[in-house]
Amino acid sequence: MKSTTFLALFLLSAIISHLPSSTADDDLVDAEGNLVENGGTYYLLPHIWAHGGGIETAKTGNEPCPLTVVRSPNEVSKGEPIRISSQFLSLFIPRGSLVALGFANPPSCAASPWWTVVDSPQGPAVKLSQQKLPEKDILVFKFEKVSHSNIHVYKLLYCQRDEEDVKCDQYIGIHRDRNGNRRLVVTEENPLELVLLKAKSETASSH
């Protein structure tokens, strides 16, 4: 009985310690100032609206359905709701942790909703896969706060594993292809700067 009570108190204290009563500068925070939920769905939006809309999928090349991750050309579009998940069992995204990003409503031909990075003629690009992916291929992103911003604006880092080390020294940016698609690609300059807007549950469950 004592061990059960102790376990219950331990779990309660762990939950309370992660409640969003206050935030630190390095916490991952949405556009409304709330901590980003682990497994929650959000729109990834440009903090400057003239730069296009939110993030969505597009069909490019010989893809059987939209598998390329792009920025919407429509400035008033929020794009598609995106799930943000950490490997840690926590209520909120832990500070500085790697995350997996995936569409709440992935296209039919995608074997997984999670983003991955693949080689392309434009360089490494963000795509959905038609095959199941191991965890190491989807936990490859990290949010980095824009230091000069007084609001919650983030760059998106691409991280690579080298044996036991994780190197996060490249960013996700935009490459506009000849068809006008604003593809998300790996870059060392001109990274995306994003705000995270919480998707309402009814919106996240349907297009």
Instruction: List pLDDT tens digits, range 172-185.
Output: 999 999 999 999 99
* Mean pLDDT score, 58-72: 95
Between 207 and 196, name the one with better pLDDT.
Answer: 196
One-letter amino acid at 11 equals L
Per-residue confidence band for 2, with pLDDT thresholds at 50, 70 and 90: very low
Between 169 and 161, name the one with better pLDDT.
Answer: 169
The answer, yes or no, to whether residue 165 has pLDDT greater than 80, is yes
Per-residue confidence band for 163, with pLDDT thresholds at 50, 70 and 90: confident
How far is the C-alpha of 39 from the C-alpha of 86, rounded, in Å?
Answer: 7
Record the tokens describing residue 25, joined without a space.
């500068």
The CATH topology of domain 24-204 is Trefoil (Acidic Fibroblast Growth Factor, subunit A) (2.80.10)
Record the tokens describing residue 184, joined without a space.
């998300």
The three-point CA angle 152-155-157 to 5° equals 140
One-letter amino acid at 83 equals R
pTM, entire model: 0.84
For 98-128, write each residue's pLDDT tens digit: 999 999 999 999 999 999 999 988 789 999 9
The answer, yes or no, to whether residue 20 has pLDDT greater than 90, is no
Question: Closest Cα to residue 39, out of 87, 110, 79?
Answer: 87
Record the tokens describing residue 15, joined without a space.
């939950």
H/E run at residue 10: helix 2-17
How far is the C-alpha of 61 from the C-alpha of 122, rounded, in Å?
Answer: 12
